[in-house]
Amino acid sequence: MKQLLVFVKKEFKQVFRDPRTLLIMFGLPIAQIVLFGFALTSEVKNIDILISDHSKDVVTTEIVSKIKATNYFIVHEKTMGDQEIEKTFKGGKIQCILIFPDGFNNELIHQGKSEVQIIADGTDPNTAKTMINYLTTILNEYQLQKFPSSALRYQIRTEPRMLFNEEDNGSMNYIPGVMALILMLVCTALTSVSIVKEKELGTMEILLVSPFRPVMVLVAKAVPYFILSLVNFTIILLLSVFLLHIDVRGSLLLLYAESALFILTCLSLGLLISNSTNAQQTALLISMMGMMLPTIIFTGFIFPLENMPWILRTVSNIVPSKWYFIIVKAVMLKGLGFRFVWKETLILIFMTVVLLSVALKKFKIRLQ
Amino acid sequence: MRNLRFLLQKEFRQIFRDKIILAMMLGVPIIQLIIIPWAMNLNIKNINLSVVDNDHSTYSQQLITEIGSSGYFRIISADQSYRQALEHIENGSSDLIMELPDGFERNLIKEGRQTIGISVDAINGSRASIGRAYLGSVINDFNANLKINQVNLADTLTKTQGFIEITYSNWFNPHAEYKYFFVPGVLVLLLTMIGGFMTALNIVREKEVGTIEQINVTPIKKWEFILGKLIPFWIIGMILFSIGLCVIWGVYGITSTGSLPLLYVVAGIYMIALLGFGLLISTYCDNQIQAMFVAFFFILIFILMSGLFTSVQSMPPWAQYISEFTPVEHFIKIVRMIVLKGSGFYDVLTELGYISIFAIVLNGWAIWNYKKTS
């Protein structure tokens, strides 16, 4: 036990000796959380729309000013022929064209109906769908207001209620996911170099010939990173609460316990990578470059997991951050207790055990 | 010039010697390009709905049946109380609750209107808002088809008045398929990761191992050393880009609508900018961990803030400003314009100008900051 303490102390000293690395390792992820927390939103707005109004009458002018009044659109006005549409889209700025034909109001009054055409740039399907939705709503509302008799006599209306997120705080959708993503990549990458660095520098041999039990080397390596990661998590949590205004609804203790477990899972994965490679470069490439995209996708915070083909949904089960993401959402945002997340917790425990035992098995205590 | 040739020979040998590195550079990205885009689908269907019907009337049953058969929703539970339905939202099995109040049918007929409560799980932002919109449109259809309205509709139609008919179309992607948007994004991202991570790591590694000192004491010039480092990765990047184009054609059936040579010119300049970025990181870092974390910091910003998977224009103005300062934002724009819309040289000129500026500034800065003496 005393040996272990001495060893942990050595690791800590090594970590703290290089303040620049320390700052980069822990400062940058924190900056990322703040940046993404403020920047990312799932709401679509500021769409560049071009309105080609061939009629320019009372009604079209009113509709245009209605569109301008929302903050969804940036309106550009230019009357143009059909042959110019393609050229406009190819220019890349305009995403949507709204066309009022000649004599719009005239037809509306005399024939009882008029046609308006929406042409969307479909290269970004999500924005295209959303803007068609927005425009339809605006036009329908205008119609009802201008011609009340076109309204239905009997109507069911809806009254929406936003659960868990009354103020519609956009960062809530992304923060738990970004937290899971960053913790996972950072913790794994940090530990993935720990052993392999000693191998590369040749100091591993010295450790192995010492009377110290080899397994303890692994433990001693993991301890400083575990503690530093918890500190990191605490800072991230404080920033989310005080800067991004996301309250912790559930038990703080439970959130910490689950986070500690998740950090352990990631450290085990890092140790496994470290034990399976021979150079820092390789370890880092696997833990960061190789794991980055799969982690982003399979955590499920950008693309819903339910939409994936079943094979990929199955694959997503082996990504620890997916389970942590579910836990954070439940405990932190919904304020639920342990009985709602015990399954996910068990899965993380199981992963940690498996990863650690494989890492131990791969840990070579003899030189080739 | 002769020096440069030898340097290139050395670099290529080093790259090909390590099979794992080679696999990480070419194999892993291609496998990811084949697999990952299948997972990228924002099409929201099968929204899980819990229904609380306090009325148990003909109309309420009709409405529920209508919603169930609309194809968007999966009614997962019919609950006795709101409290019970909330359980389903809490444990994640349901996305929204529709609560029909007592007296739903009576009020609808007597007063002409009835409000129903919809509660959505707002943590799942996009799913919640889209579910709400779908439910709204199903209810609107239901309203229009109500028998009591049909009678009235007949006389409104004879008096025909002010009906705005909306037609819409999606150009370049009529079926609004997500693969056209995301597949080029993944290709660009993989190229960015290889260029950024590999160059940053490679040079710092020489620093850490100490071999850079040996190179520094030789008569090799600064520009020769840097070119010797950049050219191999540039070639590998372009090979990866070519394989990637074949993969997206073979697997996803996406071919470039626009000019292929133009696409290559843009990719070539972008690779130079990217290598400059990696090089710049390496000149500021002392060891591989630092280089990797700094590269990770920027690349994650590239991924989440440059419009690869999320929309740039919806972000606050300052964030859009940051986005302008990432080369990726300009490159992905051009790639999508050329590949999907067939934009020509003049359409992409401004963006290409930005990328060229990045190439010059990043490389210039890196060369200026690279010192042969410590």
Cβ pair A182, A32 in contact under 8 A? yes
B102 and B59 in a common domain = yes
In a domain, B276, yes or no: yes
A356 and A246 in a common domain = yes
In a domain, A159, yes or no: no
A119 and A24 in a common domain = no
> What residues of chain A, 124 to 153, have a C-beta less than 8 Å from chain B?
124-129, 132-133, 135-136, 139-140, 142-143, 146-147, 149-150, 152-153
Residue B139: the pLDDT is 84
A337 and A245 in a common domain = yes
Whether B64 has its CB under 8 Å from any CB of chain A: the answer is: no
Residue B76 CB: number of other CB atoms within 10 A?
A: 17
pLDDT digits 0-9 by tens, B360-370 = 999 999 888 88
Nearest to B46 among A42, A173, A306 (CB): A306
Burial class (CB in 10 A: 0-12, 13-18, 19+), B47: buried
A214 and A327 in a common domain = yes
Residue A327: the pLDDT is 93
Are A297 and B39 within 8 A, CB to CB? yes
Whether A156 has its CB under 8 Å from any CB of chain B: the answer is: yes
How many domains are there within chain A?
2
Q: Which of the residues A105, A165, A277, A289 would you substitute to probe the B interface, choosing the one with the greatest number of B C-beta atoms within 10 Å?
A: A289
In a domain, B75, yes or no: yes
Whole-number Å distance between alpha carbons of B302 and A30: 16
Residue A221: the pLDDT is 85
Residue A139: the pLDDT is 87
A241 and A320 in a common domain = yes
Chain B residues touching residue A112 (CB < 8 angstroms): 160-163
Residue at A21: amino acid letter? T
B89 and B204 in a common domain = no
**Considering chain B, what is the average pLDDT of its residues?**
85
Q: Is A234 left (phi over 0), alpha (psi -120 to 50) or beta?
A: alpha
B341 and B325 in a common domain = yes
B314 and B236 in a common domain = yes
Nearest to B292 among A36, A153, A189 (CB): A189
Which residues contact residue A306 at a Cβ distance below 8 angstroms, ignoring those fewer than 6 apart? A313, B46
B125 and B230 in a common domain = no
Chain B residues touching residue A329 (CB < 8 angstroms): 123
pLDDT digits 0-9 by tens, A320-365 = 999 999 999 889 888 888 888 899 999 999 999 999 999 888 887 6
Predicted TM-score (pTM) of the model is 0.86
In a domain, A160, yes or no: no
Which residues contact residue A137 at a Cβ distance below 8 angstroms, ignoring those fewer than 6 apart? none
A210 and A119 in a common domain = no
pLDDT digits 0-9 by tens, B205-234 = 888 888 888 888 888 888 888 888 889 999
Residue B23: the pLDDT is 84
CATH number, domain with residue B52: 3.40.1710.10
Distance from CA of B24 to the nearest CA of A (A): 7
**Considering chain A, what is the average pLDDT of its residues?**
86
Which residues contact residue A74 at a Cβ distance below 8 angstroms, ignoring those fewer than 6 apart? A46, A47, A48, A49
Torsion of CA A91, A97, A101, A107, to 10 degrees: 180
Residue B373: the pLDDT is 60
In this prediction, residue B335 has a pLDDT band, given cuts at 50, 70 and 90, of very high
Whole-number Å distance between alpha carbons of B75 and B63: 12
Whole-number Å distance between alpha carbons of B6 and A87: 49
Residue A307: the pLDDT is 80
A358 and A291 in a common domain = yes
Nearest to A118 among B24, B122, B166 (CB): B166
Are A162 and B122 within 8 A, CB to CB? yes
- b/e code A357-368 from CB counts within 10 Å (16+ = b): ebbeeebeeeee
A278 and A248 in a common domain = yes
Give a three-class secondary structure readout of chain A: CHHHHHHHHHHHHHHHHCHHHHHHHHHHHHHHHHHHHHHCCCCCCCEEEEEEECCCCHHHHHHHHHHHHCCCEEEEECCCCCHHHHHHHHHCCCCEEEEECCCHHHHHHHCCEEEEEEEEECCCHHHHHHHHHHHHHHHHHHHHHHCHHHCCCCEEEEEEEEECCCCCCCHHHHHHHHHHHHHHHHHHHHHHHHHHHHHHHCHHHHHHHCCCCHHHHHHHHHHHHHHHHHHHHHHHHHHHHHCCCCCCCCCHHHHHHHHHHHHHHHHHHHHHHHHHCCCHHHHHHHHHHHHHHHHHHHHCCCCCHHHCCHHHHHHHCCCHHHHHHHHHHHHHHCCCCHHHCHHHHHHHHHHHHHHHHHHHHHCCCCCC
pLDDT digits 0-9 by tens, A119-153 = 888 888 888 888 888 888 888 888 878 877 666 66
**Average pLDDT, integer, range B2-10:** 85
Residue B374 has pLDDT above 60, yes or no: no
In a domain, B81, yes or no: yes
In a domain, B172, yes or no: no
Whole-number Å distance between alpha carbons of B12 and B20: 14
Distance from CA of A45 to the nearest CA of B (A): 5
In a domain, A18, yes or no: yes
Chain B residues touching residue A250 (CB < 8 angstroms): none
Q: Which of the residues B170, B193, B252 would you substitute to probe the A interface, choosing the one with the greatest number of A C-beta atoms within 10 Å?
A: B170
Whether A288 has its CB under 8 Å from any CB of chain B: the answer is: yes
Residue B172: the pLDDT is 82
In this prediction, residue B158 has a pLDDT band, given cuts at 50, 70 and 90, of very low
In a domain, B64, yes or no: yes
In a domain, B1, yes or no: no
The percent of residues in chain A predicted with pLDDT above 90, rounded, is: 21
In this prediction, residue A318 has a pLDDT band, given cuts at 50, 70 and 90, of very high
Are A36 and B304 within 8 A, CB to CB? yes
Whether B149 has its CB under 8 Å from any CB of chain A: the answer is: yes
Whether B15 has its CB under 8 Å from any CB of chain A: the answer is: no
Q: Which of the residues B304, B322, B326 would you substitute to probe the A interface, choosing the one with the greatest number of A C-beta atoms within 10 Å?
A: B304
A358 and A220 in a common domain = yes
> Within a 13 Å sphere around the CA of B19, how many CA atoms are in the beta-carbon half?
0
Cβ pair A163, B122 in contact under 8 A? yes
Residue at B3: amino acid letter? N
pLDDT digits 0-9 by tens, A195-204 = 888 888 888 8
Radius of gyration in angstroms for the set of CA atoms belonging to chain B, rounded to a whole number: 29
Residue B154: the pLDDT is 53
Residue B69: the pLDDT is 87
How many domains are there within chain B?
2
Distance from CA of A276 to the nearest CA of B (A): 12
Domain limits for position A6? 2-40+170-362
Residue B237: the pLDDT is 92
In a domain, A257, yes or no: yes
B228 and B113 in a common domain = no
Residue A168: the pLDDT is 67
Residue A244 has pLDDT above 80, yes or no: yes
Burial class (CB in 10 A: 0-12, 13-18, 19+), B265: middle
B313 and B220 in a common domain = yes
Nearest CA in chain B to A23: B290
pLDDT digits 0-9 by tens, B25-69 = 888 899 999 988 888 887 777 788 899 988 888 888 888 888 888
**Stretch among A83-97, B12-26, B85-99, B157-171 having the lowest mean pLDDT:** B157-171
Are B193 and A172 within 8 A, CB to CB? no
Q: Shortest CA distance to A325 belongs to which of A308, A307, A305, A339? A: A305
A327 and A241 in a common domain = yes
Distance from CA of B292 to the nearest CA of A (A): 7
Cβ pair B242, B327 in contact under 8 A? no
Chain B residues touching residue A86 (CB < 8 angstroms): 171
B130 and B23 in a common domain = no
In a domain, A231, yes or no: yes
**Of B96, B126, B147, which closes a domain?**
B147
Are B161 and A32 within 8 A, CB to CB? no
Nearest to A119 among B118, B171, B296 (CB): B171
In a domain, B158, yes or no: no
B187 and B136 in a common domain = no
Are B347 and A92 within 8 A, CB to CB? yes
CATH number, domain with residue A88: 3.40.1710.10
- b/e code B228-239 from CB counts within 10 Å (16+ = b): bbbbbbbebbee
A118 and A26 in a common domain = no
Domain limits for position B130? 47-147
B209 and B90 in a common domain = no
Are B351 and A126 within 8 A, CB to CB? no
pLDDT digits 0-9 by tens, B247-279 = 999 999 888 888 999 999 999 999 999 999 999
**Stretch among A260-264, B122-126, B204-208 having the lowest mean pLDDT:** B122-126
B275 and B205 in a common domain = yes
Whether A42 has its CB under 8 Å from any CB of chain B: the answer is: yes
First-residue to last-residue Cα distance in chain B:
26
**Of B100, B128, B147, which closes a domain?**
B147
B208 and B302 in a common domain = yes
> What residues of chain B, 321 to 350, have a C-beta less than 8 Å from chain A?
322, 333, 336-337, 340-344, 347-348
In a domain, B155, yes or no: no
A119 and A88 in a common domain = yes
